[in-house]
Amino acid sequence: MPADYYALLAIPRTASEEQIRSAYRKLARQYHPDVNPSADAAERFKAVTEAYEVLSDAQRRQRYDMFGSNGGDFGIGDLFDQFFGGETRRRERGPLRGADLRFELEIDLLDSVMGAERTLTIPRLDPCQRCKGSGAEPGAAVSTCGGCNGQGEVRQVRQSVFGRFVNVSACPRCGGAGKVAERQCGQCRGEGRERIERSVSLSIPAGIDDGQQLRVSGEGEAGMRGGPSGDLYVLIRIKEHPRFKRDGDDLLHVLRVSPAQAALGADAAVPTIEGEEAKLKVPAGAQHGQVIRLRGKGVPRLGQGGRGDLLVFIEVAIPKALNKEERKLYERLREIASPLAQDESSMFDRIKDAFGQ
């Protein structure tokens, strides 16, 4: 049966945000598990928190008013922390997962197109070799921890505006193990972990793009007290290439041609990312800014098969200086050439494109 959120918080259906907030605050203070340890209270706390979570969000409230409750996917701890400013602390005992590590790797455009294998040297914390992570000197006598009487955790009672909070955390003396060695490991001074540099081999898939991340599972920092290792995330950065720009699966290349080549057409060659040149026909009457598409000479599509294209941008380059003979021929051309038709609209389109509007 769907819960009636308004009844749970004991507020009218027309309640304001402030009314909802203060009703929840009052009830949470009454039923929070750290204040009221009964199982009944825990259930009530969960229910009023769900009600608050929905009604305090204008969009969700509206949906609830129209369609009713559809159950909750909500993080009760997160909400409580947010509401009361992190008054509760997570219990720290038992195995803890190691931290994730982040690493930035700069690669060449060619490697991003063709794929590559790399060996990374990653500094990280690993279980200490000498004590196998226990922190105790091998062979040293082990006794019950005096800090926690072997319980592995310590309780701390605090007074706050909401009442008495019992904070349970891992014993600082034994790290939660409940036992201490007579002598600490000489290598890690009892921490159980040591800083090492580890070689990690990384397969960079063909077609990876700038800003994408690769995850190497289990290559983060070692866990504590037998917990699993974190993961390694490698952020890929692609270096600028002098002859190509990348645009998704396509590569862009600029080909400079002379006015005569553009007017008469020409056979040209353009570089490809693999190194071989590809033949390209510049058509007679090619325009500055015209793009010629060479299919399948771009970047492999990551996880989809096939490749993008090589887009060749034609740049008609006007000579800045002319030799005697060229000057004569250009002068002759100027005399005999038929006037060009004015075409402002395409010119304005190009100006707009150039300004990216």
The single residue listed with the structure tokens 């891992």 is 170
CB of 98 to Zn ion, least distance (A): 16
CA 80 to chain CA centroid, nearest Å:
26
Q: Which of 167-175, 202-210, 320-328, 329-337 is the region at the interface with Zn ion (rule: CB under 5 A)?
A: 167-175
The nearer residue to Zn ion, 123 or 163, going by C-beta atoms, is 123
CB of 271 to Zn ion, least distance (A): 55
Pick from 101, 109, 131, 202: which binds Zn ion (CB under 5 A)?
131
CB of 220 to Zn ion, least distance (A): 20
d(CA 350, CA 354): 6
Considering only residues 145 to 164 of the shown chain, the ones binding Zn ion according to CB under 5 A are: 145, 147-148
Pick from 23, 48, 113, 171: which binds Zn ion (CB under 5 A)?
171
Q: Which of 100-108, 122-130, 200-208, 329-337 is the region at the interface with Zn ion (rule: CB under 5 A)?
A: 122-130
Q: At what angle do helices 39-55 and 76-84 cross, to 10 degrees?
A: 80
Q: Which of 137-145, 213-221, 247-255, 300-308 is the region at the interface with Zn ion (rule: CB under 5 A)?
A: 137-145
d(CA 288, CA 318): 11
Q: Which helix (H) or strand (E) holds 311?
A: strand 310-316
CB of 142 to Zn ion, least distance (A): 12
Q: Which residues lie below 8 Å from residue 240, measured CB to CB, with a gap of 6+? A: 109
SS3 9: helix
d(CA 293, CA 275): 18
d(CA 100, CA 153): 26
Q: At what angle do helices 17-31 and 76-84 cross, to 10 degrees?
A: 110
Is there binding between residue 63 and Zn ion (CB under 5 A)? Answer: no
Is there binding between residue 174 and Zn ion (CB under 5 A)? Answer: yes
The nearer residue to Zn ion, 33 or 147, going by C-beta atoms, is 147
Considering only residues 276 to 295 of the shown chain, the ones binding Zn ion according to CB under 5 A are: none
Pick from 128, 170, 204, 238: which binds Zn ion (CB under 5 A)?
128
User: Of 48, 42, 36, 35, which Cα lies nearest the Cα of 9?
Assistant: 48
SS3 119: strand
User: Of 236, 234, 192, which Cα lies nearest the Cα of 100?
Assistant: 234
Sign of CA dihedral 66, 68, 71, 76: positive
For β-strands 163-170 and 153-160, DSSP reports them as antiparallel
Pick from 185, 292, 312, 316: which binds Zn ion (CB under 5 A)?
185
CB of 166 to Zn ion, least distance (A): 18
Show the site string, 76-115: x = touches Zn ion by CB under 5 A, - = not.
Answer: ----------------------------------------
SS3 132: coil
Pick from 29, 89, 130, 245: which binds Zn ion (CB under 5 A)?
130
Is there binding between residue 311 and Zn ion (CB under 5 A)? Answer: no
The single residue listed with the structure tokens 């159950």 is 71
The nearer residue to Zn ion, 134 or 272, going by C-beta atoms, is 134
CB of 172 to Zn ion, least distance (A): 8
Q: Which of 65-73, 127-135, 224-232, 307-315 is the region at the interface with Zn ion (rule: CB under 5 A)?
A: 127-135
**Site for Zn ion, rule CB under 5 A:** 128, 130-131, 145, 147-148, 171, 173-174, 185, 187-188
